[in-house]
Amino acid sequence: MDVDFTSVDVSPSFKVCDSLIEKDKKNTCFRTTIRQEISSSLAKQSIQVPQSVDETIEVAITIQSNKEVKLTSIKSSDSLLVILPSLKAILKKSVEELPAVYPAIKRGVPVTTVYKLPIRIAVKN
């Protein structure tokens, strides 16, 4: 069962966010860190495309109660998947390379949550 991010007592976290106590600041730290980590990982990829691409996609990442992190889904245009068939593999690798993620906590128990992240894919050919 997936738990809504907004209904947890403590949002998922990275080690860098541990010292923050206030829920909003910890949540902001998590969101900022996950975006930076995935953007950094994507920037390292050498992506070749037959035509220029500039599209924002939505990626769903599941953070399991056992700290396992998985790419759950990608919402993008069909044309993007034709132009960039390796997109799913690239994003999956970026998610797998995330630093350790601590799961969300609800009533003192680690719970599984889904985090949806918009990502802009802009590649020039």
Q: Where does the pLDDT of residue 92 fall: very low under 50, low under 70, confident under 90, or very high at 90 and above?
A: very high
- Extents of the domains making up the chain: 5-123
For 36-67, the pLDDT digits (tens) are: 999 899 888 877 788 888 999 999 999 999 99
CA 89 – CA 102 distance, rounded (Å): 24
Contact (CB, 8 A) for 80 and 53: yes
pTM confidence score: 0.84
